Chain A
Amino acid sequence: MAVSRRDFLKNLAAVGVGSTAAGGATKSALASEGPHVSENLMGVLVDSTKCIGCRRCEFACQEAAGFSPPPVEDFEDKSVFVEARRPYPRSHTVINEYANPATPEAPIYNKFNCLHCIDPACMSACIVSAFSKREDGPVVYEPNRCMGCRYCMVACPFEIPSYDYDMPLTPQVRKCNMCAHLVPDHQAVPACVKICPAEVMTYGKRSDLLKLAHEKIRNEPDTYVDHVYGEHEAGGTSWLWLSSIPPKDVGFRQFDTTAPPRLTEKIQHAEFKFFLPPMMWFGLLGAAMWLSKPEEEDPEPDSEC
């Protein structure tokens, strides 16, 4: 055999060094920063201390999503609170009940729905660009693009999207879209905000809502914990929450402040920027192939290895 093991290793090393160089060269070219959002990014501030658990928002949500809900009185049924529910295909928002350590007879209610991340993981993960972040706030989904791989559900740091597992032909990923489908060209007040009798939610510019939230905390430090949930979580979300007890006690689980796509997109683009790394690999393997080519036909099998 014309090629010794030393040559083999030498070639392998060449490939390794080359690929490291390729990685280094592309590192500077990385500038993936997530979707563009406007100054006027809209959002909703949820003041959970005001929520009375009437679940009218669930009714309004089902109606707005076109699911023809049962009569509104049915939503006064408080027996659903025995378990912590999650948004599901027929209801893109749910209210849950939590123990109030200060006054046990007055439980705390919290509202759950898509938080409309500023840098959404679902959108970054989606293989067919079925999700998009509108400049004015909502993260919206186009079912006709979707192939139903459900990677968005894996990716979502808040575990929000749900799926029509029972539909054989046209299942969809279901989640709140901030009622973007009702007024397609600009963001309008979502149905849940409109119906709420306790004025739990304030709809407005996210920057204004943040100011308002911090003002409330400043003015009533005994009422609120000093944490606006959604200000920084997963890179920040359009929806924001205030509560009287720590967010972890009202059903929130995600406290990481970096948006998940920042890491994955960096890795992804380092591997493929301008197709340079794959081309480099191609060239290096070609070189290895050519260099390790036996100089003449040698019918003897390589006894060395």
Chain B
Amino acid sequence: MSDHHQPLPVDRKLITPGVCVMLALVVIGASVAAYRFIFGLSSTTNLDQQHPWGLWIAFDVATGVALAAGGFTTSALAHIFHREHYHAVVRPALLTAMLGYTFVAIGLLADLGRYYNIWHPLWPTMWSPNSALFEVGICVTCYLTVLYLEFAPIVCERLMGDKFFAPIGSFLKAANAWLDKIMFLLIIAGVVLSCAHQSSLGNLMVIAPSKVHPLWWTPILTIMFLLSAIAVGFPMVIFESMFASWALKLKPEMEILSALAKYIPVLLGIYLGFKIGDMAIRGSYVYLVEGSVQSTMFIIEMLFGVIAPFVMLLSPEVRNSPKWLFIAALMIVLGVTLNRINVFLIGYQPLYPVKSYFPSIGEFAVSIGLVSLLMFIYRTIVTFFPVITHPGKARAK
């Protein structure tokens, strides 16, 4: 860790009016979830026999995984390609990824009919290597373990200086030293596991060519999901970092974020190139003028989620302006969110539809509750552990 950027616990009050609103949303979401566990999925969701997957899979799981991509993209940049300049954003991104994946698992529990069997995919007699979902499950489990290990030194670092934990001080020290030794392996494993499951998540829908709208269904959905996850990594880090700075009343790390934004047009451009190429080869552009909900959503996704921010971020003025950088990053984050929702919900057209699916209030409540809880835990952790680098204080050191 370079010495001029020292992450420190954030010196802010934990409970503010905004945090109270967040906690209220958590309580509402938790109540709905409790209702679901007592009375079953039909009591709280609008899922039906033709729509087996709804908001909880499309948003909590698929979008959650995509938006947690900041973790492996920044760790690859800073640790594998040694762009030491970006160390300051690695810890917050790591924390987001760790919490993001944890909440993917929690969100999944609400959706699974037999949630108590969630461990089954890990049991060797039930392994099913032909299933894309199996691959996602295994890689996410491994990656979650890697993320906790990657985060462990931050916990050790904090607790080692604490009098209360002095009795286990030597253990913490040893653990920290050991983790430091294997950290490079964990970092590479994290990147490999991420690439693997991000792409397999795209493979999920490849098995349903007759149900997913041709604007999205392509045999290379794997590549699309991987490229879009890589492209959304830095924008998500920028969005979060600026959002956290605003919420915690810190100065945004513009120097680092603007530099980071330089990579985005390259990564987003590769994704856009694949999208256009795939469309040209499969001839799916004929559906653009279909005038359906699907074609409209596709155009919105591509125009506002990919093309516009791509053009915007080519300009140094946008990259150096806190406001415009935030807007461009947010557009990409929303664009990838919309992409996942499009692939799993809007583009999913049952063969025998009875009615169309729109998430119930209960489904929204649980998803909103999960996001609120995630943000609350993030805030709690940065208050007590050295995660965020304060530009002001770092300079003073």
Interface residues of A (CB under 8 A from B): 1, 3, 8, 11-12, 32, 84, 86, 88, 121, 124-129, 145-151, 153-155, 157-159, 162-168, 170-171, 253-254, 256, 260-261, 263-265, 267-269, 271-272, 278, 281-282, 285-286, 288-289, 292-294, 298-299, 301-302, 305
Contact = CB atoms under 8 A, between A and B. Distances in A.
Given A8-B81, A159-B350, A165-B42, A146 B132 contact: no
Nearest to A12: B81
Interface in B308-359: 348, 350-352, 354
B131 interface: yes
Nearest to B187: A289
Interface in B47-85: 47-50, 52-53, 76, 79-85
Number of contact residues on B: which range applies?
A: 35 or more
Interface stretch (B170-178, B189-197, B280-288, B371-379): B189-197
Contacts of B196: 271-272, 278
A148 B81 contact: no
12 contacts: A127-B134, A128-B126, A128-B128, A129-B128, A150-B53, A165-B41, A165-B113, A168-B40, A267-B206, A272-B129, A289-B184, A301-B4
A268 B203 CA distance: 8
B113 A272 contact: no
Contacts of A157: 208, 210
Given A147-B114, A167-B40, A302-B85, A263 B49 contact: no
B137 to A, nearest CB: 6
Interface string B255-294: 1000100110000000000000000000000000000000
A299 B38 contact: no
Contacts of A298: 84
Interface in B1-53: 2-4, 37-43, 45, 47-50, 52-53
A188 B114 CA distance: 31
Contacts of A126: 128, 131, 133
Contact of B81 (A11, A146, A159): A11
A293 B37 CA distance: 51
B113 A289 contact: no
A121 B204 CA distance: 12
Contact of A32 (B42, B121, B130, B200): B130
A163 B49 contact: yes
B367 interface: no
A282 B189 contact: yes
Nearest to B211: A154
A272 B131 CA distance: 12
Nearest to B122: A128
Contact of B188 (A124, A261, A289): A289
A153 B133 CA distance: 13
B137 A127 contact: yes
A151 B204 contact: yes
A12 B129 CA distance: 29
The listed residue with most A CB atoms (<10 A of its CB), out of B52, B79, B118, is B52
B53 A148 contact: no
B259 A305 contact: yes
A254 B210 contact: yes
A124 B50 contact: no
Contacts of A146: 113-114, 117
B351 A253 contact: yes
Contact of A164 (B113, B120, B222): B113
B36 to A, nearest CB: 8
A272 B114 contact: no
B207 interface: yes
A265 B200 CA distance: 11
A90 to B, nearest CB: 12
B112 A147 contact: yes
A88 to B, nearest CB: 6
Given A124-B130, A147-B118, A171-B41, A260 B49 contact: no
Nearest to A168: B40
A288 B81 contact: yes
Contacts of A267: 203, 206, 219, 222
A126 B121 CA distance: 10
B209 interface: yes
A261 B131 CA distance: 9
Given A272-B135, A305-B259, 19 more contacts: A3-B81, A8-B83, A124-B130, A125-B133, A127-B137, A146-B113, A147-B113, A148-B112, A157-B210, A159-B351, A163-B113, A263-B206, A267-B219, A285-B191, A285-B192, A288-B80, A289-B187, A298-B84, A305-B263
A166 B52 CA distance: 13
Which 10 pairs across A and B sit closest by C-beta, in order of nearness? A148-B113, A153-B52, A150-B52, A165-B42, A147-B117, A168-B40, A171-B113, A148-B114, A253-B351, A129-B128
A171 B127 CA distance: 21
A147 B352 CA distance: 25
Which residue, B40, B115, B128, B209, has most C-beta atoms of chain A within 10 A?
A: B128
Contacts of A159: 50, 211, 350-352
A260 B208 contact: yes
A84 B350 CA distance: 14
Nearest to A32: B130
Contacts of B228: none
A128 B262 contact: no
B199 interface: yes
A157 B189 CA distance: 36
A154 to B, nearest CB: 6
Contacts of A263: 206-207, 209, 219
